[in-house]
Amino acid sequence: MPATIKDVAALAKVSLKTVSRVINDEASVKASTRARVLKVIEELAYRPDQSARSLRGARSYAIGLVYDNPNPHYIIAVQNGVLSVCRERGYGLQIHPCDSTAPRLADELCTLVAQARLAGLVLAPPMSEQEALIAHLAQAEVPFVRILSANRDPADGHPCVYIDDHDAAYEITEHLIQLGHSRVGFLWGGKQHRSSPERFNGYAEALADYGIALDEQLVVEGDYSFDDGFRGARKLLALPDRPTAIFGSNDEIAAGVLAAARTLGLDVPYELSIAGFEDSPFSRQSSPALTTARQDTTAIARHAARLLLAQLNPEGNDADVRNAGFSPELVVRASTASPRRNR
């Protein structure tokens, strides 16, 4: 039989009310008592019935994660981050993949919150970056937190976690330039994601700062996918004066570039340097491993979940959580090197 709240109270030697306060993340519980109760909950593998808790009162104990992204590694990391906070705080999590281009997306999300009795939403890109959707949810008084690409807090009054993709892309491009590359190709991710223009602008700014003219032939549009990385790389590598380095907007794209280079028999990194973004398993498991920008997506998602819970429970343990920015860090691996001069 699964453990009950009575079992937890008996083993922790506290009242049922105290267990309930711990589960509800009420700040009035002493730290030592909270730790003892949480230890027993873990030992007994006790899981509160979130739907029953919500039905017993006006407060809901479940949140939703809304996303539309072709990158499975990104989505899994976001899910793991949000879910870890939900488990710590006694909340349920409903995953809601959707079409970010749907004309009635705002109504769909409001209906989701009402029917599933969700306390609030964590919005992943690109939904988090749609101003009309954000305004609709705010007007409907749906609590939400956005994960978005920006180099500063938008300061628009809506809670968010922001990632400085621009400066990270600048640093990657600068790394390639300092290795001696003057013809650096760039492969876009999906333009519906704000991270794509942010990364392109960082790339373009680095070229300008080093006095390198932006060659439109070296820029290829696409999506955040392996296939688009492969196709984009084949296009760039077919140029008469092909690039000596290619920067893919994420690691899936960069892995596609690596595959394209292999089909042409190119020596990576000496005939073609390759860089990605995000530090996903693609970058670490490739051969050679990919230079990239390490983005701790799980930590970003954890902060977003805590920021949402701070709205829902201003007296809880997350009450001091505020909007925060994350800066991806350059990770240099074996896929980048100085170009072979006698190519």
Would you place residue 234 in the very low, low, confident or very high pLDDT band (cuts 50, 70, 90)?
A: very high
CA angle 311–314–315, rounded 5-degree value: 155
Would you place residue 226 in the very low, low, confident or very high pLDDT band (cuts 50, 70, 90)?
A: very high
The string of pLDDT tens digits covering residues 256-292 is 999 999 999 999 999 999 999 999 888 999 999 999 9
User: Residue 149 forms beta bridges with which residues?
Assistant: 163
d(CA 18, CA 39): 14
What's the CATH number of domain 165-294, 3.40.50.2300, 3.40.50.1370, 2.160.10.10, 3.20.20.100?
Answer: 3.40.50.2300
- CA nearest to 291, candidates 308, 272, 310, 314: 272
The token pair that represents 118 in the structure block:
């969700």
- Per DSSP (E only), the strands in 91-244 are 92-97, 121-123, 144-149, 160-163, 184-187, 219-220
Question: What does each C-alpha distance from 307 to 6, 113, 122, 202 come to in angstroms?
Answer: 31, 18, 9, 28
Domain ranges of the chain: 5-47, 59-164+297-326, 165-294
The string of pLDDT tens digits covering residues 188-225 is 998 889 999 999 999 999 999 999 999 999 999 999 99
Query: Residues 6 or more apart from 168 whose CB is under 8 A from it?
Result: 199, 202, 277, 293, 295, 327, 328, 329, 330
Q: Where are the alpha helices (DSSP H) in 24-130?
A: 31-44, 50-56, 72-89, 105-115
pLDDT at 3 over 90: no
Mean pLDDT along residues 78-103 = 93
Would you place residue 58 in the very low, low, confident or very high pLDDT band (cuts 50, 70, 90)?
A: low
Q: What kind of fold does domain 5-47 have according to CATH?
A: 434 Repressor (Amino-terminal Domain) (1.10.260)
Q: What architecture is the 59-164+297-326 domain classified under in CATH?
A: 3-Layer(aba) Sandwich (3.40)
Would you place residue 55 in the very low, low, confident or very high pLDDT band (cuts 50, 70, 90)?
A: very low
> Using an 8 Å Cβ cutoff, are 189 and 195 in contact?
yes
Same CATH topology for 59-164+297-326 and 165-294: the answer is: yes
The string of pLDDT tens digits covering residues 126-151 is 999 999 999 999 999 999 999 999 98
The token pair that represents 41 in the structure block:
């909950």
Would you place residue 341 in the very low, low, confident or very high pLDDT band (cuts 50, 70, 90)?
A: low
**pLDDT reported for residue 56:** 46
Question: What does each C-alpha distance from 120 to 84, 112, 193, 292 come to in angstroms?
Answer: 16, 10, 22, 33
State residue 62 phi and psi, 5-degree precision.
Answer: -150, 145
Query: Residues 6 or more apart from 150 whose CB is under 8 A from it?
Result: 160, 162, 163, 164, 194, 198, 325
